[in-house]
Amino acid sequence: MDLINRIKDKFKDSILEAFELKPKRVVVKVSPSKLKELARFLKDDLNFDYLIGAGGIDFKKENVIQVVYYLFSTTYKTLLMLKVDLPRENPVIDSLVDVWEAADYHERETWEMLGVNFVGHPNLTRLLLPEDWKEGFPLRKDFDLSPYQR
């Protein structure tokens, strides 16, 4: 696919995975250091103008927190899943709010529920949990739910 080739040509060794899941559904995994640069390229050069959502997944056995951004090009009617793997013990990545403003709440939720620190986020504050929450990150696989069960 031309889209994948353009991404691979520009970012070479920083693309860890890129494939077409099915027509107009693309998955790209990038090195954390190139996430923001690739995001700007996707928006400005490849017309991925709409951020549908973002979130995270705790892969405890692999010791990884994966952040996924779901992007859509209204020009090409193509969905792209932009993935980045972060170390579970210190998941830190650049915020994409200045690329897509819609990333704001999604990054806040991912920070709050999984502990991903989005550097440069303009308002990384609680969204779902109480302001005084100190119990950890509820969506991590090792979070103890027993105090909250009846």
- Per-residue pLDDT averaged across 99-104, rounded? 98
pLDDT category of residue 138 using cuts at 50, 70 and 90: very high
29 φ/ψ angles, rounded to the nearest 5 degrees:
-110, 130
Pair 77, 3: CB distance under 8 Å:
no
Three-class SS state of 35: helix
Does domain 2-143 match CATH 3.90.1150.10?
A: no
Residue 115 sits at φ, ψ, to 5 deg, of: 85, 20
Task: Write the pLDDT tens digit of every residue in 23-37.
Answer: 999 999 999 999 999
Cβ(100)–Cβ(47) below 8 Å: no
Say what the pLDDT of residue 1 is: 61
Q: Residues 42-58: what's their mean pLDDT?
A: 98
* Closest CA relative to residue 46, chosen from 86, 94, 82, 85: 82
Residue 45 confidence (pLDDT): 97
Query: Residue 57: how many CA atoms within 13 Å on its side-chain side?
Result: 9
> For the chain, which residues make up each domain, given as ranges?
2-143
The dihedral built from the CA positions of residue 130, 136, 137 and 142, taken in this order, carries a sign that is: negative
Quick one: DSSP state of residue 96? -
d(CA 30, CA 67): 11
Contact 13, 70 (CB under 8 A): no
Please, which residues have CB within 8 angstroms of residue 16's CB and are 6 or more apart in sequence?
A: 29, 30, 31, 85
pLDDT at residue 38 above 90? yes
